[in-house]
């Protein structure tokens, strides 16, 4: 008798509570990525950690809406991971107010560990990267930004960026890595290591995406859009890329789908702004020129 079927896409990482002038907003790579995969028709699971009792009414409503389209495993915590993001002298400055603590991947449902896609999606040192040895998906992707953030261990406060230090056994297992242009300088060594044998992608906003695909340079231009909110755009890009590659699409085709998904998302606001697969396909097939 066969057991439960694994989801097509599983994301692992903290959800975030972002403090904004308009109140708290729900975010985090896992939620943007999971919503993207779900809207592309995938069955989805999210492994995360936090305290739902601390969510305000708007954030709770957003999470409940997302839970209708995916399965959530939420490890209990005394806190939620909470940030404030600000632009200072043209640069993004993050402040960490609270941290949900480390996710224990031993609590992941056994059948999730062999999902078609597992997206390692930390935002704040969410789990020890060595725990990735517990999973064996068809396709393993990572957005390592959370392993590039450090802060004062007890007082929180300003977030600093450091180079990601992944164990070699994990880095060589990755099928795809996605970093932003801002992260690339610190992540260059990891980027080149992954890109020599698999796929490493740098997103560059309006300048499109640059990839290293088994040592071969690939560039895909961006789609022309009016930007409303760029929050989560890289996570949408990564999830769409991982899903399309796992479905057998070529690198160039997958990059174009990812670029289209990201472009549509920045023209809207919030996690609910993630496009459907039909919207992504329509933009990919649009004959108008790219930027």
pTM of the full predicted structure? 0.94
Helix axes 233-246, 29-39, angle to 10 degrees: 50
> What does the pLDDT read at residue 90?
62
> What does the pLDDT read at residue 24?
85
> What does the pLDDT read at residue 136?
95
Strand, coil or helix: 269: coil
Residue 249 above 60 pLDDT? yes
DSSP state of 271: G
Question: Where is pLDDT greater, at 175 or 69?
Answer: 175
> What does the pLDDT read at residue 85?
83
> pLDDT digits over 94-146, tens only?
999 999 999 999 999 999 999 999 999 999 999 999 999 999 999 999 999 99
> pLDDT digits over 172-202, tens only?
999 999 999 999 999 999 999 999 999 999 9
> What does the pLDDT read at residue 278?
95
Distances (CA, A) of 10 to 93, 118, 266, 268: 29, 5, 23, 24
Strand, coil or helix: 136: coil
Residue 291 above 60 pLDDT? no
Concatenate the DSSP letters of all residues of 22-84 into one string. Answer: TEEEEE-HHHHHHHHHHHTT--EEEEEEE-GGG--HHHHHHHHHHHTSSEEEEEE-S--EEEE
Domains of the chain: 9-274 (3.40.1190.20)
**Which of 74-88, 152-166, 170-184, 276-290 is predicted with the least confidence, judged by mean pLDDT?**
276-290
> What does the pLDDT read at residue 287?
60
Residue 22 above 80 pLDDT? no
CA distance 161 to 183: 9
> What does the pLDDT read at residue 116?
97
Q: What is the 3-state secondary structure (H, E, C) of 155-223?
A: CEEEEEECCCCCCHHHHCCCCEEEEEHHHHHHHHHHHHHHHHHCEEEEECHHHCEEEEECCEEEEECCC
Q: What's the whole-number average pLDDT of the chain?
A: 92
> What does the pLDDT read at residue 231?
81
């Amino acid at each position: 008798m066969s057991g439960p079927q694994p989801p097509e896409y599983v994301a692992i990482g903290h959800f975030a509570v972002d403090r904004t002038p308009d109140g708290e907003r729900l975010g985090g790579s896992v939620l943007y990525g999971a919503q993207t995969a779900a809207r592309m028709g995938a069955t989805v699971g999210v492994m995360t950690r936090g305290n739902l009792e601390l969510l305000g009414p708007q954030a709770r409503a957003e999470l409940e809406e997302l839970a209708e389209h995916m399965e959530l495993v939420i490890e209990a915590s005394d806190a939620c991971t909470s940030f404030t993001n600000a632009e200072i002298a043209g640069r993004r400055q993050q402040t960490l107010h609270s941290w949900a603590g480390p996710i224990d991947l031993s609590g992941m449902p056994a059948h999730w560990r062999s999902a078609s896609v597992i997206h390692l999606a930390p935002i704040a040192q969410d789990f020890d990267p060595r725990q990735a040895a517990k999973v064996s998906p068809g396709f393993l992707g990572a957005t390592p930004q959370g392993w590039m953030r450090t802060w004062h261990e007890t007082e929180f406060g300003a977030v600093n960026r450091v180079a990601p230090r992944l164990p070699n056994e994990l880095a060589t297992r990755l099928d795809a890595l996605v970093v932003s242009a801002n992260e690339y300088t610190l992540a260059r060594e990891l980027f080149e290591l992954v890109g020599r044998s698999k796929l490493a992608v740098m997103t560059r906003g309006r300048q499109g995406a640059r990839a290293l695909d088994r040592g071969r340079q690939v560039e895909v231009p961006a789609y022309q859009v009016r930007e409303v909110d760029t929050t989560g755009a890289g996570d949408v890009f990564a999830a769409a890329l991982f899903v399309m590659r796992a479905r057998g699409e070529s690198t160039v085709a997958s990059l174009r789908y990812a670029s289209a998904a990201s472009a549509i998302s920045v023209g809207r606001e919030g996690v609910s702004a993630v496009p459907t697969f039909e919207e992504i396909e329509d933009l990919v097939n649009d004959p108008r020129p790219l930027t």
